[in-house]
A and B are shown apart, each in its own frame.
Chain A
Amino acid sequence: MNVFRLLGDMSHLLAILILLLKMWKTRSCAGISGKTQILFALVFTTRYLDLFSSFISIYNTTMKLFFIASSYFTIFLMYSKFKATYDSNHDSFRMEFLVVPVGGLAFLVNHEFLPLEILWTFSIYLESVAILPQLFMVSKTGEAETITSHYLFALGSYRLLYIFNWVYRYYFDGFFDLIAVVAGCVQTILYCDFFYLYITKVLKGKKLSLPA
């Protein structure tokens, strides 16, 4: 565990808490992509099956359980409790366009051809593109609430910090996981445009809106 990894995890945790807080306080999930949230639940479920097979630390187990539980709770809020506020018309990205190719790739490019390993690889690839329905939704409506942009910024920061973590681990621990690194870089690149808008607009007190 290094400082980048810890900050990355905290940023990820913060993102989830911001999202839950936004929904709970406003009693609304407007502007949030249910598709992205379903994909995240799938990511956590397929990656953390190792909860049953290997123990790393109390920290690791606790975080995994929280990520899984919060992702399903988010889906419950969006599709049940606050269903009336869910903006499904603008959430039109097709999940199968991500899940199917990513599933195929996980079968072809993995560290080891074992069920748990393929599922882990699937979750890594899927996580890298799971934000696309949300970004698509923002671009379709042309705007995002400020709280939603804070959520996206925290989520993007998490992946950026993980890249620093991998650089650190490569030099100081001799650790290098090509699959995680490539997917993590792709994931971070997807946020670049958003980071630019966040810094130039939201941090200056303006709402995040896209030019027509």
Chain B
Amino acid sequence: NGVGGKHDEL
């Protein structure tokens, strides 16, 4: 993850 991963934080 981390490469264009899902942005689940605010």
Contact A117 B2 (CB under 8 A): no
| Residue in B2, B9, B10 whose CB lies within 8 Å of A178 | B2
Contact A176 B8 (CB under 8 A): no
Q: B-facing mask of A18-60, CB < 8 A → 1, else 0?
A: 0000000000000000000000000000010010001010001
The A interface, classified by DSSP as helix, strand, loop or mixed, is helix
How far, in Å, is B2 (CB) from chain A's closest CB?
5
How many interface residues does A have (CB within 8 Å)? 24
**A50 to B7 alpha-carbon distance, docked (Å):** 9
Contact B9 A5 (CB under 8 A): yes
**A212 to B5 alpha-carbon distance, docked (Å):** 47
Contact A120 B9 (CB under 8 A): no
**A96 to B4 alpha-carbon distance, docked (Å):** 27
Residues of B contacting A47 in the complex (Cβ-Cβ under 8 angstroms): 7
Q: Does A193 contact B (CB under 8 A)?
A: no
Contact A64 B10 (CB under 8 A): yes
How far, in Å, is B10 (CB) from chain A's closest CB?
5
How far, in Å, is A170 (CB) from chain B's closest CB?
10
Residue of B nearest to A12 (CB): B10
Contact surface of A with B, Cβ cutoff 8 Å: 5, 9, 12, 47, 50, 54, 56, 60, 63-64, 67, 111-112, 114, 117, 120, 162, 165, 174-178, 180
Q: List 4 A-B pairs, minimum CB-CB distance, nearest first.
A: A112-B4, A111-B4, A177-B2, A176-B2
Contact surface of B with A, Cβ cutoff 8 Å: 1-10
